[in-house]
Amino acid sequence: MKSAIVYASLGLVLFVSIGASAPPPPDIRPVRTVVAAASAEGEPISLTGHVRARTEENLAFRIDGRVISRKAVVGQVVQPGDIVPALYVAWFRISEPRPAEVAAAASRHHDPGGPMTLTRSSPGDSFSTAPNVRDQLKTPRTLP
């Protein structure tokens, strides 16, 4: 037991004699700083890249006749009522329907008002779309 006390005291003396000194203070390193301040002038910014639309719509239409000139270019914004193509007008015949033609078309129209079924009055007759033959003999309804 005496030897343990001797060894402990020797270890303590050695530890104190080595001198555990405090670590040295860290070196002060110079740092470059910039103070931000508002100024009237700004630096021009030059960026490279492609400018693209966020959404792109693919619209197409057909026009009968000859196109003399196209007033809109690719990418141009077109509003309702804008003239897009200029057409050669001799290709078109614009006319209003005559009342006699409307009445003739209405008299040819036949709508039985029932479900569309094919019926045959006799084996040699052609097919009819009326529910039965008596409905064909009724006066046809006219268009409103």
- How do residues 83-97 score in pLDDT, each as one tens digit? 888 877 665 555 555
- Evaluate whether residue 135 is within a structural domain: yes
CB crowding 32-63: b at 16 or more within 10 Å, else e: eeeeeeeeeeeeeeeeeeeeeeeeeeeeeeee
Q: So what's the pLDDT on residue 110? A: 55
Residue 134 has pLDDT above 60, yes or no: no
Q: So what's the pLDDT on residue 111? A: 54
Q: For residues 37 and 45, what is the distance between their CA atoms, to the nearest angstrom?
A: 19
- Evaluate whether residue 127 is within a structural domain: yes
- Evaluate whether residue 89 is within a structural domain: no
Percent of the chain with pLDDT strictly greater than 70 = 59
- Evaluate whether residue 139 is within a structural domain: yes
Considering its fold, how many domains does the chain have in total? 1
- Evaluate whether residue 59 is within a structural domain: no
Range of the domain at 118: 114-144
Q: For residues 85 and 88, what is the distance between their CA atoms, to the nearest angstrom?
A: 10
Q: So what's the pLDDT on residue 119? A: 47
Dump pLDDT digits (tens) for 96-119: 556 777 677 666 655 555 444 444
- Evaluate whether residue 41 is within a structural domain: no
- Evaluate whether residue 57 is within a structural domain: no
Q: So what's the pLDDT on residue 130? A: 46
pTM of full prediction above 0.75: no
Helix, strand and coil content of the chain, in percent to the nearest 5, comes to 25, 5, 70
- Mean per-residue pLDDT of the chain: 69
Q: Kindly write down the DSSP assignment for every residue of 97-120, as one continuous string.
A: PPHHHHHHHHHH----SS----B-
- Evaluate whether residue 28 is within a structural domain: no
Cβ atoms of 140 and 111 closer than 8 Å: yes
Q: For residues 100 and 88, what is the distance between their CA atoms, to the nearest angstrom?
A: 30
Cβ atoms of 84 and 70 closer than 8 Å: yes
Residue 26 has pLDDT above 80, yes or no: yes
Residue keyed to tokens 């402990």: 8
Which residues are within 8 A (CB) of 142 and not within 5 positions of it... i.e. 6 or more apart?
106, 107, 109
